[in-house]
Structure 1
C-alpha cells in the first residue's frame, strides 16, 4: 500500500492539477453563460447545441471527479473548492462536446490502441496533464511506467481477496483509473485537433526578419507631448449623434456572448454590541484572576473559559503560536500573565507564560511496544535492565516480534494537534526530555513502551504558554435586533428606487454590481446562492428581494434589487454611453491639439506651442513607449516612431490614448546582444503564431456554440 500513500501525499495540490486536466487551453471564463427564465428546466443542468445534460448526469460527473480526488487524498472539499470543481467539470463537458463535434466532421478519433501506446511510451505531455497518471510518474526515469502500474494493480487484486480494506482500495483505484483513461482520451483528441490547426501556420524569412526587428530594433526620440487633460471636458461638446456614430464604429467591441444582470444590493454585517463585549470581558477577567491565583490547573482555566485554543501541556515553537500574539509572547517573562486585551483578529485574549526551553526540533528514536501485553510493566523493567547491561534495543525487540526501527519525530507532529490524549502527551514529553541513548520506560493506560532516543538535531526555542482566546461574537439578542432593523428597512423600501432612498436613512450603503449566473455568490459573500437564484429566475427589473439572513459567516444580512437585464448580444448604447462619451472626448480633444500642431516642423516649434518635450529611449515597434509627459505607455507612438527614418520628424501629429504627440527620431540601433538567426526566428514565430491561431479558433468555436447553463438553479 506504499504506492497509495505516495500518491495521496500530493493531495493539497491536486485540485489545481485537475483543473489543468479538465480545461487545458481554454479559459474558464469562456464557458460562462447565462439565460432567461424561459430556458430553464427543473431537471436540466444545461445544454450544448441542443444536446441536454440532465442534472443527475451532471452530478454523477462531479461525483466521479470527487471520488478521484478522494482517492488522491483530497477528500474533504470546502464550499469554494466544490464550486470550483463543478465549474471545471462543466468546462470539461463543454470543451469535449465542442472538440467532438469538430473532430467528427473531420474524421478524427482516438482509438484504444492509441491510448495504450501513449501509456506504454509514458512520455506524452498529456500524461503530465492527467491528475492520476501524473502522480504515477517514476521519479527516477521521469516517465510513466505502465508495467509497474499493472504490477501494483495485480498486488492490490491479490490482497483484495482476503482483506476488506484492500478490496475497497482496489475498487477505488479501478474507478479512478477509468476516469483517468477517459480524461486522457479527451486530451489526446483535443491535441489532435489543435495540431491540425497548428499545421496551417507557416512562417517565412521576410516575416521572421520583420518580427525580429519589431522586438529588437530600438529608437531614441525627442517627443513633444500635449496631454488631453489640458482641455477641460466642459469645453468639448459631445452630441447624441456623436455618441451614436461612435457606438456604430465600436459596436463589435460591445458584443456580449452571455447575458448578465446589473444589481444593487445592501449587505449589513452584524457585530457584537457593547453588552456582548462586556459579558465576554467578565469571562476573560475571571480567566485572568484564575491564572494569577494558580488555584486551579491551567487546563481547567482553558476549559472553563471555553477558549478557542486548547492547551497541549508541551512546549511549542514560535511558528505554532497564534500569529497575532507571537511577537509579544516570545518577550514575556516566566510567570507573567497579561490582563485581558483585544487582538486584531477580533478576539479578547489572556496569556500565561509558564516557561521557555531549548530542545531539539527533530528527534530520532526507537521503541518496543508492550501495550496490551500481559505483565507489561515487568517486561518493560526487564528490557530497561537488559539495555543497561549492554544489549541493543533492536535485538531485544526480536523477542517480542518487533523490529524497533529508528524513526524521526518533528515537533510539528504534536504542535499541529488541537488536543492531545494523556498517553500521547506522555510519549511526546518523554521524547523531548530523554537524553540521547538513554532508555525510558513509559507507563501508558493500556500498557508500557520502552523508548530510546538515538539522535537529536536542530535545537530551537520553545514556549510553554496557555492562552485564553475568545472571539468577540454577537449574541442572539444582538442578531435579532439587527435583523429587525434590516427587515424594517427592506419593508419600507418597496422597490429599487425606495432601497436607494431609504439606505442612508437607516445607515446602509447601496452597492452596484454586474453578476453572471456562474458567479456562485453575490459579491463573494458566502451562502448567497438563494439570492443569486432569485436574481436570475424570478426577479423583475426594479424589484427587490426578501431579506436573506445568515449569509457570509452567519453574520450578514442581504437584500438585492435587479436594476437591468443584459441579454446576450450587443450591449445597448445606453449601457455603454459613458465609455462612448470618453472615446468621443478623445477624438475631439485630439482634433483640437492636432490643429495646434498642424503646421509645426520641429520639436522646438511644438514646444513653443505649449508641448512638453522628453527624450524617450528604447522604443520598439513591439512594445508601447512610455511617455513621461503623458505618464503612460502609448502604443500608437511606438508604431509611428518605428515608421520614420532616423533624423526625420513625425509626418503628422500622433493620436495617443492620453495625448497628441510630435517627435523627431534621434537614433536607431539593434539592441545590444541581439543577433538575427533566420531559422530560429522562424521557429519561434511559428510557435507563437500556432498558439495564437489555436486560441483564436477555440474561442471562435465557443462563440458559435449555443450554450445554456442552468446549474445555478441547483447549487
Structure 2
C-alpha cells in the first residue's frame, strides 16, 4: 500500500496501469484460463446428476472442505494423487446428496437426533465411533472418552469442531444408506420354481460324449475379415457395444537419465562412504545418516532385493560389500551375520480360480476347473503358462503366478498361508486350496525360512544434474518443433535410432497416468482438447523422469460407436463366426459314430467324454465351461446325438450316454436360501448401479482438472 500511495502522488496514470495489472494478476486465472469466460468457455458446470447441474464453485468448495479436514487431521499437505481421490470423494458425495436423497425422501427414511446420539454414545455405537475411540494398544472401546470429548468440544479449535460436525454428518449418511440397503435386502425373494431349478441343476447328472472342433484349430490368418463385415456385425449387435469418450496416442520419450559425470561423482562418493562404514563404531547409525533410502537392519529373504539375495550367500560377517547398482541407486552393505526370527518367509506361485458368484453351484464349477488344471500340471503342463492364461489374479498371472517372498504374519489369507508354510520343500502342493478369494493351485518356489540377516546398508541415488536435464529438454523441444503431422513424426523417429514409439490406446478422459507415465494428466487433457486433431503433434510434456512428445492417433465418441473403437474384439467375433460356418459345413450330414465323424473331418476334431457332470458344474475337458453345449446335451435322450451346433469357443456334436435324474425332494429351502443370500450379497452393488443409471449422471470434471 505504501508503494501504491507513493505512485499515486507521482502519477494518476501510473496508478491506473498498475491497478489494472494487479487485478489481472489476481483474477487472470479466472478470466483468461481454459475454462474462463474470456478464455472462450463460460460453461462452469462440472457435471449433472438427476437433472441438477453442479457448479464448479460449489464442487470446489466441497473439495476444499474435505482438503482442510484431511490436512488438519494428517498435519501435512496432500499429494496430487490424494487430491484426485478427494475430488472423487466430493463427487460421490454429490451423488449421495442428490440421487440417493431422492430415494430416501420418497421412502420417508430419516435419521433422528436421538438415533445419532445412540450411535455416538448410546447402546448401538457406530463402527466408525468404535474405531475412532478404541485404545490402540488393547483395542477396547471407551465410551467415557467419547463423552469427555463432546463435553470439551467447544473449547477445541474451530477446525476440530468443524471436523466433528462433518464426522457426525457422515454417520447420519452411513446410517440412512444402511437403512435403505437393508430395506431392499429384506425385499429379496427367490420363488420356489427358481430354487427347484437350482436343485435340479446341481443334482441331475449325465454322462456325455462329444465331438468338439475349437475355433483355434483353424489358423486366424486363413480367415479374411472385411470392414463391411465388421460394420454389419456391429450394426446387428449395437446394444452390446457401449460407446465411451477415449483417445489414443503414440509418443516418444526423452529420458532425464544421469550422465556419465553424474554417475562418476556418485560412485566416488559411495566408495568414500564404504570406508567410513567399515570403521564406524555404530555401523547402523552411520548407514542411516548417509543413506538416501531407509532400509531395515535385520532383513529376511522376503524383504531383500533379488540382487542382494544372491550376493549375501557369499558375504562374511564384518565385511563391507559393493557397490551394487540397482536402477539409479548404488548400494553398499556391511554384513553382521544371522539370527533366528519368530516369523518365517517363503516364496510361492499360484493360479487362482474364482467362482462366478457365491452360489454352491458356481463354487463347485470353479473347484472342478481348478482340479482339472492341477491334474494338467501333474501330467507335465507348464505351471507358469497356465497361470498366465487361466489365473484370476492379474497381478501375479503376468509373472507366471509368482507372488514373490512373503511372511507368515497374515500377509496372505490363512488357508493359503498354512498350505505354503506347511511345505518343507519346493514343489507343487498336491491339492487345491480354498480361500475367500477362490481356489488356489500352489507351487512353493522357496520353502519357509526364519533366518534374519543383519545388514547395515547405504543406498545413494544418482540424480541428474541441471545441465543433464536441460540437454534432455533441448532434444525434446527440437523434435517437437521439427514435426507438425504424424507423417513427419514417423519420419523423425526413423532418423533418430535412439527413439522408440510407444502406444496408449483408449485413454479415458479422467485418466491421470498414461501407461507407466505417472502424473500424465496434462497429456490426457491435451488429447481431449477440441483443437487437438487426429495426427496433430503435441508440445513437450514434462514429468520427473522424462520429457514426452505425443501424436493423437484416434478418438472414440460415447454417442457415435465406430468399428475402430472395438476393431480387435469385433474381428475376433466375425472371424469365429466364419470359422463356425466353415466347420459346420464340413460336419453337416456326417454319419456314423463320433470317432468316424472326427476321422472324416480330419485334424482339429476332438472326441472326449464327461462322466457324471451337472448343468451347474459341468466342465468339458478341452472346451471348458460351455453352457450352450451343456444345455444341448441335457436336452437329449439317452443314446441320442445332437445336430451340429456352435458353442462358446467352437463347434459341437453332443451325445448323451445316460442321465440320472435328481432324487425327488419336497423341500427346496436350502437352495432357496443359497440364491437369496447370493442376491443379498450383491445388493449394495446392484442398488448403487441402478441409482447411478437412473440419475443419468454426466461427469465433466475432466474438463476442469
Is this contact kept in 2: 1:99–1:193, CA < 8 A?
no
Is 1:487 paired with 2:477? yes
Distance of 1:671 and 1:343 partners within structure 2: 66
Is 1:684 paired with 2:665? no
1:541 to 534, 540, 552: 534
- Kindly state the Cα deviation for residue 255 of structure 1 after the two structures are TM-superposed: 1.9
Is 1:528 paired with 2:509? no
What is the DSSP-based 3-state SS (H/G/I as helix, E as strand, rest coil) of the residue aligned with 1:342? strand
What is the DSSP-based 3-state SS (H/G/I as helix, E as strand, rest coil) of the residue aligned with 1:661? strand
Is this contact kept in 1: 2:284–2:297, CA < 8 A?
no
Aligned to 2:405: none
1:558 to 541, 544, 548: 548
- Kindly state the Cα deviation for residue 252 of structure 1 after the two structures are TM-superposed: 0.5
CA 1:359–1:633: 2 relative to 1, 3 Å: closer
Distance of 2:491 and 2:618 partners within structure 1: 46
Is 206-215 or 40-49 further displaced after alignment? Answer: 40-49
Instruction: Note the 1:299-318 alignment, pairs <5 A.
Output: 307-308=291-292, 316-318=297-299
- Kindly state the Cα deviation for residue 226 of structure 1 after the two structures are TM-superposed: 1.1
1:262 to 248, 262, 266: 248
Distance of 1:62 and 1:335 partners within structure 2: 55
Q: How many residues align?
A: 554
1:707 to 691, 697, 704: 697
Distance of 2:670 and 2:523 partners within structure 1: 56
Is 1:658 paired with 2:641? no
Q: Deviations over 1:525-554 (max 9, x none)?
A: 2232222222223523322211012x1xx1
Aligned to 1:227: 214
Distance of 1:462 and 1:482 partners within structure 2: 41
Is 1:274 paired with 2:270? no
Is 1:607 paired with 2:562? no
Q: Deviations over 1:635-692 (max 9, x none)?
A: 3223323333444333x223123210112233545899x9995123223323334566
Distance of 2:694 and 2:59 partners within structure 1: 23
Is this contact kept in 2: 1:347–1:472, CA < 8 A?
yes
Is 1:621 paired with 2:607? no
Aligned to 2:500: 508
- Kindly state the Cα deviation for residue 288 of structure 1 after the two structures are TM-superposed: 4.3
Is 502-511 or 112-121 further displaced after alignment? Answer: 112-121
Is this contact kept in 2: 1:99–1:189, CA < 8 A?
no
TM-score using structure 2 length: 0.66
What is the DSSP-based 3-state SS (H/G/I as helix, E as strand, rest coil) of the residue aligned with 1:648? coil
Instruction: Note the 1:382-531 alignment, pairs <5 A.
Output: 463=454, 467-506=457-496, 507-531=499-523
What is the DSSP-based 3-state SS (H/G/I as helix, E as strand, rest coil) of the residue aligned with 2:171? helix
- Kindly state the Cα deviation for residue 468 of structure 1 after the two structures are TM-superposed: 4.0
Is this contact kept in 1: 2:50–2:694, CA < 8 A?
no
Is 1:337 paired with 2:320? yes
Distance of 2:134 and 2:271 partners within structure 1: 58
Distance of 1:39 and 1:201 partners within structure 2: 52
Is this contact kept in 1: 2:248–2:503, CA < 8 A?
no
CA 1:215–1:114: 2 relative to 1, 3 Å: farther
What is the DSSP-based 3-state SS (H/G/I as helix, E as strand, rest coil) of the residue aligned with 2:196? helix
- Kindly state the Cα deviation for residue 603 of structure 1 after the two structures are TM-superposed: 2.1
CA 1:290–1:698: 2 relative to 1, 3 Å: closer
Aligned to 1:153: 149
- Kindly state the Cα deviation for residue 79 of structure 1 after the two structures are TM-superposed: 3.2
Is this contact kept in 1: 2:121–2:146, CA < 8 A?
no
Aligned to 2:166: 179
Is this contact kept in 2: 1:641–1:665, CA < 8 A?
yes
| Structure 2: segments with no counterpart, 5+ residues | 1-34, 343-449
Instruction: Note the 1:40-439 alignment, pairs <5 A.
Output: 43-66=44-67, 77-116=78-117, 127-128=126-127, 131-132=128-129, 134-136=131-133, 148=144, 150-154=146-150, 156-157=152-153, 167-168=156-157, 174-195=161-182, 197-198=184-185, 201-233=188-220, 235-236=222-223, 238=225, 241-256=228-243, 258-288=244-274, 307-308=291-292, 316-318=297-299, 323=305, 325=308, 328=311, 332-338=315-321, 340-353=322-335
Aligned to 1:396: none
Is this contact kept in 1: 2:320–2:332, CA < 8 A?
yes
Aligned to 1:642: 634
Distance of 2:40 and 2:669 partners within structure 1: 54
Q: Deviations over 1:70-111 (max 9, x none)?
A: 676696654333323322332232244211233444554444
CA 1:123–1:235: 2 relative to 1, 3 Å: same
CA 1:527–1:697: 2 relative to 1, 3 Å: closer
Distance of 1:475 and 1:671 partners within structure 2: 76
CA 1:569–1:137: 2 relative to 1, 3 Å: farther
Q: Deviations over 1:136-193 (max 9, x none)?
A: 4799999988x64652324545xx75xxxxx34xx56543432233223333443444
| Structure 1: segments with no counterpart, 5+ residues | 1-34, 162-166, 362-458
CA 1:509–1:173: 2 relative to 1, 3 Å: same
Distance of 2:192 and 2:471 partners within structure 1: 76
Higher Rg of the two aligned structures: 1
Is this contact kept in 1: 2:277–2:287, CA < 8 A?
no
Distance of 2:53 and 2:245 partners within structure 1: 20
Distance of 1:142 and 1:310 partners within structure 2: 30
Aligned to 1:376: none
CA 1:360–1:248: 2 relative to 1, 3 Å: closer
- Kindly state the Cα deviation for residue 583 of structure 1 after the two structures are TM-superposed: 1.7
What is the DSSP-based 3-state SS (H/G/I as helix, E as strand, rest coil) of the residue aligned with 2:468? helix
- Kindly state the Cα deviation for residue 268 of structure 1 after the two structures are TM-superposed: 3.5
Distance of 1:272 and 1:607 partners within structure 2: 63
- Kindly state the Cα deviation for residue 586 of structure 1 after the two structures are TM-superposed: 1.8
Is this contact kept in 1: 2:504–2:514, CA < 8 A?
no
CA 1:626–1:69: 2 relative to 1, 3 Å: farther
Distance of 1:207 and 1:360 partners within structure 2: 55
Q: Deviations over 1:556-592 (max 9, x none)?
A: 1112333333222351234334433322222222122
What is the DSSP-based 3-state SS (H/G/I as helix, E as strand, rest coil) of the residue aligned with 2:536? coil
Is this contact kept in 2: 1:647–1:664, CA < 8 A?
yes
Is this contact kept in 2: 1:264–1:563, CA < 8 A?
yes
CA 1:686–1:296: 2 relative to 1, 3 Å: closer
- Kindly state the Cα deviation for residue 40 of structure 1 after the two structures are TM-superposed: 6.3
